């Protein structure tokens, strides 16, 4: 007997030729007539009783894998002095047809060695064993001989072949977990379930989409119900909404003076807030709904579950097996080449207010991990003013008249020192304790802009306490403190909605803080901070390249941890300076100063550790169409080509880079995704506060009508001007030319 390469080889015992078409019961084998078989080592046997087709190959053990077909299997049936009998089984459906389309039950023609070499594709179906030489979806065929060779084959005895077939159960090869058989691909890695459908894996290959109450049905929740279809057909695009709301000021001035304003505001609040699941559904520990996700408030919650950890690529199945280096990504696409000013006129005071406000609920726990938070209030609780623990709160309280501790310097009120309070603060080594100011958030000594706002809220709390004590002389310290805190929470929400979000949106519709708008609709007054919201809110492109106060320009080295600037200039001078200095544009990329680029790198690293889903999956989750290309995302051909090279697929783009690299809307600070994804988190967190509920939103909660009116009339201008001697220019946008450098007004409060 010659082997596949034409050299003589011994014939194994029990293997020989039979007459053409000779029946072997229960197997039926057939091969071309003739005593010599000019083949590349192949014949086939049908086993009707078992429902398989056997392909056998005799020759050297093959080493060249090629793609196989699902539902079949290959394995060694016999071996003899380096030669192997490779058996391949083809699974059949109960009706007798093959288990996959397009594959004949038996080969119609055996290839001759005179035929041009071609790859054979065989099914894979064997369980793991030391003799198995396959992996899921792959079979190892015998390569065709390089030249003519005569191969004389005799079938194994029927009893041996039957035994071999019975020992090879017909199960999917992907169920195998041998050393050469990697686990089957999790079907949920494809993110098949659309429109908020939930993917549930069954077995190894199957999944189901739970479409309950999504308004869709079908295997992947893609078939809309009638009312869903009608609503989608009539709903304009986000770009259309943005255009209407940012044009026609005269029209919106009319709307803002009518009841239509309340109707539109209610619509905005309900539509946006309902995009956020309440109660929370996922956290970073589990990719499925669990009690832990609801009850364990030390976790950030999540809108979308993590990418399954057994996926072929970090982003599921799309893109490359290794994501681009975060440092390279930030250097190329996020690092500022030249300062890009925000076209909406956003100023530096807005940037500091954003940092100060969000640091009450964005407090990632370094000790527990990036999926955990130390801000257990999960919302607007003013933990950055009062401390996030009772122990820290007590260190900051005066325990007299409900007030917080303070010190008077240059005739004005400032936060107390760390030496007096013993409240821990983060300052660089060498700063004496008497020079460290103690406030609710331990990191606010980092930037003078943060300490300016901390000082304003300290003054506001003590001012409100004086008002309450005058109206309620019988109240104890504790009641004065707790009521003042509720008033300041209300003031904060009012300022954030009507000043901060109003500026950020650029809308001519005048936003309104009125909790009663939601009293007639279903709404849950509880909030949980999501890790996606934390990621989204890293707006470091706002920060300039230097900081201008008066006639002096400060570098980052001179500005960061500057403990004397607040006392040297005073609150009103710093507010005026920060209100006049432009901030950077957030969207579009290439606008983060090098001194803080490491923060963006850390955000990208965090998203990978927490396995956030791709950017396009979040767009779909919030009702946006996924981008089809990087050109579609950025609007810049060169940048798109580089992103394509790094990621390989637009569906593999990460969440945070996608938000910052998305092209900005016309005359806007960022792109549509930041608005459409960020606004629901923001509005749900603000209106989900307990003080906005029917049980809290009443005069008695705030100490009577006087306290209630402080909340309802709050504004950024009043917060500043009620707590300084002279009222500076204060706004979230740089002054228009008409504002000029006019004289400051007396505050009338101090």
Q: Are 669 and 587 in contact (CB under 8 A)?
A: yes
Q: Are 266 and 518 in contact (CB under 8 A)?
A: yes
In this prediction, residue 67 carries a pLDDT of 34
The reply to whether 184-235 and 348-586+686-722 are identical in fold is no
In this prediction, residue 739 carries a pLDDT of 60
Q: Are 15 and 59 in contact (CB under 8 A)?
A: no
Mean pLDDT of 409-425: 93
**pLDDT tens profile 129-174:** 333 333 333 333 333 333 433 333 344 455 444 444 444 444 333 3
CB contact set of 429 (below 8 Å; sequence gap of 6+): none
Residue positions forming the annotated binding site for substrate: 272
Q: Which fold has domain 184-235?
A: Laminin (2.10.25)
On average, the pLDDT of the chain sits at 80
Mean pLDDT of 623-628: 96
b/e per residue, 57-95, with b = 16+ CB within 10 A? Answer: bbbbebeeeeebbbbbbbbbbbeeeebbbbbbbbbbeee
The catalytic residue positions are 359, 537
What's the distance, Cα to Cα, between the start and end of the chain in Å? 109
Q: Tell me the two tokens of residue 543.
A: 């920060």
Angle of helix 705-712 relative to helix 477-495, nearest 10 degrees, comes to 30
Mean pLDDT of 606-627: 96
Q: What number does CATH give the domain 348-586+686-722?
A: 1.10.640.10
Mean pLDDT of 574-594: 97
In this prediction, residue 476 carries a pLDDT of 97
**pLDDT tens profile 248-261:** 899 999 999 999 99
Mean pLDDT of 291-315: 93
Share of the chain above pLDDT 90, in %: 64
In this prediction, residue 589 carries a pLDDT of 94
In this prediction, residue 524 carries a pLDDT of 86
Under the banding of pLDDT at 50, 70 and 90, the label for residue 532 is very high
Under the banding of pLDDT at 50, 70 and 90, the label for residue 741 is low
**DSSP E strand stretches across 179-292:** 198-202, 206-210, 216-217, 223-224, 282-283
Mean pLDDT lowest among 87-96, 275-284, 419-428? 87-96
Residue positions forming the annotated binding site: 272, 540
Residue from 63, 59, 44 nearest 103 by CA: 44
Mean pLDDT lowest among 68-82, 355-369, 385-399, 600-614? 68-82
What's phi and psi for 499, nearest 5 deg? -115, -55
Q: Please state, in angstroms and rounded to a whole number, the distance separating the CA atoms of residues 681 and 532.
A: 9
Q: Please state, in angstroms and rounded to a whole number, the distance separating the CA atoms of residues 312 and 296.
A: 31
Name the more confident of 461 and 273: 461
Mean pLDDT of 195-222: 95
Residue positions forming the annotated binding site for heme b: 540
pLDDT at 541 exceeding the cut of 80: yes
Tokens 């008002």 appear where?
467
Domains in the chain: boundaries: 184-235, 348-586+686-722
pLDDT at 221 exceeding the cut of 70: yes
**pLDDT tens profile 2-56:** 433 333 333 333 333 333 323 333 333 333 333 333 333 333 443 333 333 344 4
Mean pLDDT lowest among 89-93, 128-132, 210-214, 576-580? 128-132
């Amino acid at each position: 007997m010659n082997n596949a390469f034409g050299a003589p080889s011994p014939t194994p015992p029990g293997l020989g030729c039979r007459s053409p078409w000779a029946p072997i019961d229960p197997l039926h084998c057939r091969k071309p007539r003739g005593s010599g078989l000019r083949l590349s080592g192949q014949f086939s046997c049908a086993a009707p009783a078992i429902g398989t087709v056997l392909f056998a190959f005799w020759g050297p053990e093959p080493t060249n894998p090629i793609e196989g077909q699902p539902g079949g299997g290959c394995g060694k049936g016999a071996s003899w002095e380096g030669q192997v009998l490779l058996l391949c089984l083809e699974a059949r459906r109960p009706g007798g047809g093959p288990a996959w389309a397009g594959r004949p039950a038996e080969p119609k023609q055996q290839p001759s060695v005179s035929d041009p070499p071609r790859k054979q594709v065989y099914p894979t179906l064997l369980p793991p064993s030391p003799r198995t030489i396959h992996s899921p979806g792959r079979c190892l065929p015998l390569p065709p001989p390089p030249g003519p060779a005569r191969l004389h084959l005799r079938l194994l005895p029927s009893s041996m072949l039957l035994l071999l077939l019975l020992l090879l159960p017909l199960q999917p090869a992907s169920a195998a977990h041998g050393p050469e058989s990697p686990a089957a691909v999790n079907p949920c890695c494809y993110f098949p379930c659309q429109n908020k459908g939930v993917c549930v894996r069954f077995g190894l290959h199957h999944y189901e989409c739970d479409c309950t109450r999504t308004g869709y049905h079908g295997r992947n929740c893609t078939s809309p119900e009638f009312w869903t279809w009608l609503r989608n057909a009539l709903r304009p695009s986000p770009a259309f909404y943005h255009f209407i709301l940012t044009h026609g000021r005269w029209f919106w001035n009319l709307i803002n003076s009518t009841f239509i304003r309340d109707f539109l505001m209610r619509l905005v609040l309900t539509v946006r807030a309902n995009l956020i699941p309440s109660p929370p559904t996922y956290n970073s520990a589990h990719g499925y709904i669990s009690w832990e996700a609801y009850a364990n408030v030390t976790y950030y919650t999540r809108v979308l579950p993590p990418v399954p950890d057994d996926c072929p690529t970090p982003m599921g199945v799309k893109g490359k097996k290794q994501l681009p280096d975060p440092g390279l990504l930030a250097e190329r696409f996020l690092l500022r080449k030249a300062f890009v000013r925000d076209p909406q006129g956003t100023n530096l005071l807005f940037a500091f207010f954003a940092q100060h406000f969000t640091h009450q609920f964005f407090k990632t726990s370094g000790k527990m991990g990036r999926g955990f938070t130390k801000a257990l209030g999960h919302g607007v609780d003013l933990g950055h003013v009062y401390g996030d623990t009772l122990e820290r709160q007590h260190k900051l309280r005066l325990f007299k008249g409900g007030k917080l501790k303070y010190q008077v310097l240059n005739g004005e009120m400032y936060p107390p020192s760390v030496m007096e309070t013993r409240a821990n603060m983060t300052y660089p080594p060498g700063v004496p304790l008497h020079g460290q100011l103690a406030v609710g958030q331990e990191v606010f000594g980092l930037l003078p802009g943060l300490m300016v706002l901390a000082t304003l809220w300290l003054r506001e709390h003590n001012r409100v306490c004086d008002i309450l004590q005058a109206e309620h002389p019988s109240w104890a310290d504790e009641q004065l403190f707790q009521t003042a805190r509720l008033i300041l929470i209300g003031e904060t929400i009012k300022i954030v909605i009507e000043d901060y979000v109003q500026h950020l949106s650029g809308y001519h519709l005048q936003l309104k803080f009125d909790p009663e708008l939601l009293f007639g609709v279903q709404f849950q007054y509880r909030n949980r901070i999501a890790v996606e919201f934390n990621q989204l809110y890293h707006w470091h492109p706002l920060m300039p390249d230097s900081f201008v106060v008066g006639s002096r320009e400060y570098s980052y080295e001179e500005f960061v941890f500057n403990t004397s600037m607040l006392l040297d200039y005073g609150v009103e001078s710093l507010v005026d300076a920060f209100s006049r200095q432009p901030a950077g544009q957030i969207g579009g990329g290439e606008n983060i100063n090098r001194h803080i680029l490491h923060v963006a790198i850390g955000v990208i690293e965090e998203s990978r550790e927490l396995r956030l889903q791709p950017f396009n999956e979040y767009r779909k989750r919030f009702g946006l169409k996924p981008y089809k290309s990087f050109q579609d995302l950025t609007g810049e051909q060169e940048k798109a080509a580089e992103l394509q090279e790094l990621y390989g697929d637009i569906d593999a783009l990460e969440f945070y880079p996608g938000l910052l690299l998305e092209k900005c809307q016309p005359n806007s600070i960022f792109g549509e995704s930041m608005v459409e994804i960020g606004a629901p988190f923001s509005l749900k967190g603000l209106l989900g506060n307990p003080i906005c509920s029917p049980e809290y939103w009443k005069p008695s909660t705030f100490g009577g009508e006087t306290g209630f009116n402080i909340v309802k009339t709050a504004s950024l201008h009043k917060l500043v001007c009620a707590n300084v001697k002279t009222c500076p220019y204060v706004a979230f946008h740089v002054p228009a030319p008409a504002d000029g450098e006019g004289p400051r007004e007396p505050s009338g409060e101090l």
